[in-house]
Amino acid sequence: MRIFVTGGAGYIGSHVCKALARAGHEPITFDNLSTGHRWAVKWGPLVVGDLGDAAGLKKALADSRAEAVMHFAASAYVGVSVVDPRAYYANNFVNGKNLLDAMVDVGVKSLVFSSTCAIFGDQKTELLDEDHPQNPVNPYGETKRSFERAIHWYGNAYGLRSACLRYFNAAGADPDGETGEVHDPETHLIPIVLAVAAGARSHIDVFGDDYPTPDGTCVRDYIHVLDLASAHVLAIEHLHRGGPSLRLNLGTGQGSSVSEVVAAARRVTGAEIPVRVSARRAGDPARLVADGRASRATLKWTPTSSDLDTILRTAWAWARKPRTA
């Protein structure tokens, strides 16, 4: 397949483009490079454009002759979404609607959407399954939830088939060192912890140690970006075979606290990694851990690289690799 990949120059998008190419597909990256990187586009052509330009987007999609779309382009900083929800609704919902409209107009019927566990809000059960109540606690999660609903209604009206893949905490890097995580500013825990290990930061701020978790720090389900990428390939191939629309949680079912991540990073890097406890950060649930049984049953997908040490080893190799930012 030829697949139109919005945000393909970003962290997850570039890993998925590599996985698509390895599976025999041709990814066409559409990215405005506001947070993505030219160097990350290595497995197909790059079209520089913006989802906010509806006419330019429609032309780019038509010119690509794509059979399917993967949509990664979005704003994804939880804290920023709390203080600037206007920007998040504009980029994650309004610009996303431009993409849906372009797909309908051009006649592309298959979409894999990069969603998030943030649509659920505070976790009410031991593991989050697909039927868990959705009550986002930040605008980032709310905009993703709203766009999932838009996809549903477009599917009903226009025959769009979709897979909304709800990530838990993407982490790690390509073991070949061809792509990895580079954000500015960086807000994700693992690259920040590794920056401290490398001497680029003085300490790690832990935002709250009084959560209702075993050690008081937030618990998250970390999933290697390679495992996420493989799920995307399986999902787009499922749709290409005529399979029905899907809403799936992608996680391991195992949670790690912030303190446990820091301890594992000390073990992997051999560095001290000083910690400073700060106030809780607005919009952070205490625990987010997936029930991944539906994704395993539907896609026959099994995470193979998502143990914490493998995640940290690949991310540590990437963090020490000279590159163009």
- What's the pLDDT tens digit per position in 221-273? 999 999 999 999 999 999 999 999 999 999 999 999 999 999 999 999 999 99
Q: How far apart are CA 199 and CA 215, in angstroms?
A: 26
Picking from 315, 322, 323, 324, the residue whose alpha carbon sits closest to that of residue 196 is 315
Distances in Å between the alpha carbon of 66 and those of 29, 58, 59, 70, 261? Answer: 11, 12, 12, 10, 40
If one counts every other C-beta atom within 10 angstroms of the C-beta of residue 282, the result is 13
Q: How far apart are CA 217 and CA 210, in angstroms?
A: 7
Beta strands 219-220 and 256-257 are antiparallel
pLDDT of residue 104: 98
Q: Which residue has the tokens 């409209």?
A: 101
Question: Ramachandran region of residue 317, left (φ > 0), alpha (ψ -120 to 50) or beta?
Answer: alpha
Q: How far apart are CA 223 and CA 305, in angstroms?
A: 8
DSSP 167: E
- Contact (Cβ atoms closer than 8 angstroms) between residue 238 and residue 247: no
SS3 140: helix
Residue 89 falls in the annotated catalytic set: no
DSSP 38: G
Q: How far apart are CA 70 and CA 13, in angstroms?
A: 9
- Contact (Cβ atoms closer than 8 angstroms) between residue 158 and residue 302: no
**H or E segment and range at residue 250:** strand 246-250
- Contact (Cβ atoms closer than 8 angstroms) between residue 73 and residue 8: no
Tokens of 147: 């766009």
Q: List pLDDT tens digits, range 73-112.
A: 999 888 899 999 999 999 999 999 999 999 999 999 999 9
Active-site choice (140, 154, 211, 222): 140
Q: Is the peptide bond before 214 cis (omega within 30 degrees of 0)?
A: no
pLDDT of residue 184: 84
**Mean pLDDT of residues grouped by 10 in the chain (325 residues)?**
97 98 98 95 98 98 98 92 96 98 98 96 90 94 97 98 96 96 89 96 96 95 97 98 97 96 97 96 87 95 95 96 66
Q: Is the pTM of this model over 0.85?
A: yes
**H or E segment and range at residue 204:** strand 204-207
